[in-house]
């Protein structure tokens, strides 16, 4: 009984051929785009993948380096301007001290004169 | 069954892998009937079957270097066709069966079988779930044994066996009314 239904299934499911025009179209299409052509495409893609990775990595490294250098220069510039300001303050103090000395000397000589 | 013997298509495969267009054409001609029949009976319409057949051979075009023998090629084609068809059927809610002209294409009409019985079997096949339909087609159209079906569909062997058992039981039950009449006709 099982063989009966199985043989009926086999008979019913014999492969059928596609339409002639489809078969010819398919053949023409596969021959136009042959397997050999797909090789360089795959090869190029496979070669480009590490290149893209390296490009991305070097771009990222350059960016990090640029930020680092910029920060370092900024720090140096701030340090320089700090030293400059300190120098200015010292100079101002020196000038003030000289002026005060002169004033003191003038007051002192005047009081000596009036005391005599 | 004679897969171990030297297969003349192995030479064509080697030539196709080295880029020979005509050899690839020979492979397409040798396997298009099987791929198309599987696609047609899985999807139910000629247009969808032709599209799927075309896609499968285009995919083969890009994967030819990974195929090492004609036996492997047959396995690859059945696997890709079945899986793509199952995916398509899962995406669609319901299979659309179209004109009678196409229906006659779904089964071969070269043998002396009862057209009524064939139409009934076609309807029953269409009622099966996509994986069960693929199992039945690989068993009775492609003549694979359950182990090869399990490998092709990446399915446990017991699942394949239970699909076969249930589908056949259902077919036998539902064609029971038609079969005796046919036997009587044949005996006269």
- How large is the ipTM? 0.73
Asked if A12 lies within 8 A of B118 by C-beta distance, the reply is yes
Domains and CATH numbers, chain B: 9-93 (1.10.1740.10), 114-175 (1.10.10.10)
User: How confident is the model over A59-74, as a mean pLDDT?
Assistant: 91
In chain A, where the domains are located: 79-116
Decide which of B136 and A52 is more confident.
B136
Asked if residue B35 lies in contact with residue B53, where contact means CB atoms within 8 angstroms, the answer is yes
Residue with tokens 């190029």, as numbered in its chain: A44
Chain A residues within 8 A of B41 when measuring between CB atoms:
13
Asked which of A110-114, B68-72, B140-144 is least confident by mean pLDDT, the reply is: A110-114
Asked if B113 lies within 8 A of A11 by C-beta distance, the reply is yes
Å from B2 to nearest chain A CA?
19
Mean pLDDT of chain B: 81
User: How confident is the model over B144-159, as a mean pLDDT?
Assistant: 94
Chain A residues within 8 A of B140 when measuring between CB atoms:
6, 9-10, 12-13
Please state, in angstroms and rounded to a whole number, the distance separating the CA atoms of residues B26 and B16.
9
Please state, in angstroms and rounded to a whole number, the distance separating the CA atoms of residues A77 and A71.
10
């Amino acid at each position: 009984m099982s063989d009966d239904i199985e043989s009926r299934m086999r008979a019913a499911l014999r492969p059928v051929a596609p339409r002639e025009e489809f078969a010819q179209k398919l053949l023409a299409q596969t021959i136009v785009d042959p397997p050999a052509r797909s090789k360089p495409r795959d090869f190029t893609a496979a070669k480009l993948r590490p290149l893209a990775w390296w490009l991305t990595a070097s771009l990222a490294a350059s960016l990090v380096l640029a930020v680092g250098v910029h920060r370092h220069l900024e720090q140096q510039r701030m340090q320089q301007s700090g030293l400059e300001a300190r120098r200015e303050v010292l100079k101002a103090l020196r000038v003030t001290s000289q002026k005060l000395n002169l004033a003191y000397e003038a007051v002192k000589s005047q009081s000596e004169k009036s005391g005599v | 069954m004679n897969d171990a013997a030297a297969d003349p298509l192995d030479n064509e495969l080697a030539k196709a892998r080295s880029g020979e267009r005509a050899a690839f054409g020979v492979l397409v001609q040798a396997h298009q009937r099987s791929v198309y029949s599987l696609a047609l009976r899985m999807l139910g319409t000629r247009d969808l079957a032709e599209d799927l057949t075309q896609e499968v051979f285009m995919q083969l075009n890009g994967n030819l270097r990974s195929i090492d023998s004609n036996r492997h090629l047959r396995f690859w084609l059945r696997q890709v066709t079945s899986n793509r068809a199952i995916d398509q059927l899962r995406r669609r809610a319901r299979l659309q069966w179209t004109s009678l002209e196409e229906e006659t294409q779904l089964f071969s009409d070269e043998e002396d079988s009862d057209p009524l019985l064939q139409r009934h079997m076609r309807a029953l096949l269409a009622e099966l779930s996509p994986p069960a339909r693929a199992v039945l087609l690989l068993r009775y159209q492609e003549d694979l044994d359950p182990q090869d079906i399990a490998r092709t569909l990446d399915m446990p062997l017991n699942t394949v066996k239970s699909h076969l058992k249930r589908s056949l039981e259902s077919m036998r039950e539902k064609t029971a009314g038609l079969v005796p009449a046919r036997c009587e006709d044949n005996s006269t």
